[in-house]
Amino acid sequence: MVPTFVSAEGQTNADVYYELADVCTLGAFAGFSLDEPDALERLGKRIADATNLADRFMNAAEEFIVAVLNAEGWEMH
């Protein structure tokens, strides 16, 4: 059985955002307690590092796709 994080009844609201879910996820994966004195600073660094890694991955993936397409004879315009 999968744990339930949020449950609701009523009319659908497609624009609902539960910030608590993000905070709980960050807390679970941060590797430290979010109530520590320097938690926000440490969390900010982890987010910046993850963003940098994601950017590098996307750039490398794009370069790889271009290289494969070029190798297969596709021309970029």
Query: What was the pLDDT predicted at 5?
Result: 63
Extended beta strands in 11-77, E state:
none
Extended beta strands in the chain, E state:
none
Question: What does the domain layout of the chain look like in residue ranges?
Answer: 37-77
pLDDT digits (tens, 9 = 90+) for 8-60: 677 776 666 677 777 777 777 777 777 788 888 888 888 888 888 889 999 99
Q: How far apart are CA 72 and CA 38, in angstroms?
A: 51
pLDDT digits (tens, 9 = 90+) for 63-77: 999 999 999 998 877
Instruction: Give me the numbers of helices (H) and strands (E) for the chain, helices first please.
Output: 2, 0
> What is the dihedral sign for C-alpha 12, 3, 19, 55?
negative
The pTM (predicted TM-score) of the whole model is: 0.47
Q: How far is CA 46 from CA 15, 26, 30, 61, in A?
A: 28, 10, 8, 22
